[in-house]
Amino acid sequence: MSRIRVAGFGISLDGFSAGVEQSLDDPLGKRGAEIFQWLFHTKTFCVTHGRDGGTIDVDDAFARRMMENCGAFILGRNMFGPVRGPWKDESWRGWWGPNPPFHAPTFVLTHYERETLVMEGGTTFHFVSGGIAEALRLAKQAAGDKDVKIGGGVSTVRQYLQAGLIDSLHFALAPVALGQGESLLAGLDLRAMGFSVTEHAATEYAMHVVLERR
């Protein structure tokens, strides 16, 4: 059965999932990359980004799982890129180069219309200006029996959580304090939303926690 998932989402010890001042030099915001050290060394990450090497361990198992059975993705505008306001042109095509790692229909939330963008490797970016419900409807239609992954960023995940639309969460709690940034869970009561921990595993780089909604 198709599910709506968040997976591989990094969180610092003080609750932040992105740093401040996102830019071309800092796609995850200042110091944001520190909460994803668990991912960068894995074989799955290296293969996905066209590199050799990488470790095969517990972190890699969670990295592999976070992309399994995903038939469609939903991204916030900020996760797609640093461009703000109306699309002045279509020169910005995402952070990932000509072959993004999604390899499936990917729906980008935006307030401004833009033509569909077909990339290499099976990724097609669809720009949705009708809100989170419209993006989810389109993503579920595209995914068929497979899962829809809410890829981020922080604001997008929070909106889907607040709307009660997410079935499963996988957080990677990194042993680092960012001090400031975008808080993922501030003001959200996961227990009241029906979530409970079903799995956890600690590595050198993160505590992986999986929560499922009843």
Q: CATH no. for residue 127? A: 3.40.430.10
Q: Where are the alpha helices (DSSP H) in 49-187?
A: 58-65, 77-80, 132-143, 154-162
What pLDDT, on a 0 to 100 scale, did the predictor assign at position 22? 87
Contact (Cβ atoms closer than 8 angstroms) between residue 11 and residue 28: no
Residue 172 lies in a domain: yes
pTM of the model: 0.94
| pLDDT tens for each residue of 147-164 | 999 998 999 999 999 999
Q: Radius of gyration over alpha carbons of the chain, in Å? A: 16
* Structure tokens given for 140: 């579920």
Residue that is written with structure tokens 């595209």 in the block? 142
Residue 38 lies in a domain: yes
Which residues constitute the domain of residue 113? 4-83+101-213
Residue 202 lies in a domain: yes
The helix (run of H) or strand (run of E) holding residue 105 is: strand 105-109
* Structure tokens given for 188: 């959200």
What pLDDT, on a 0 to 100 scale, did the predictor assign at position 88? 86
Counting the structural domains of the chain, the total is 1
| pLDDT tens for each residue of 26-59 | 888 999 999 999 999 999 999 988 889 999 999 9
Pick from 68, 27, 58, 33: which is nearest to 174 by CA? 33
Q: Which residues contact 36 (CB under 8 A, 6 or more apart)?
A: 10, 28, 172, 174
Residue 89 lies in a domain: no
List the strands of the sheet with 124-128, edge to edge. Answer: 117-118, 124-128, 105-109, 70-75, 147-152, 4-11, 168-173, 207-213, 195-202
What pLDDT, on a 0 to 100 scale, did the predictor assign at position 102? 94
Q: What is the mean pLDDT of each run of 10 residues along the chain (214 residues)?
A: 94 95 88 95 91 95 96 96 88 92 96 96 97 98 98 95 98 97 96 98 98 96
| Cα(9)–Cα(79) distance, integer angstroms | 13
Enumerate the β-bridge partners of residue 10: 172
Residue 17 lies in a domain: yes
Residue 65 lies in a domain: yes
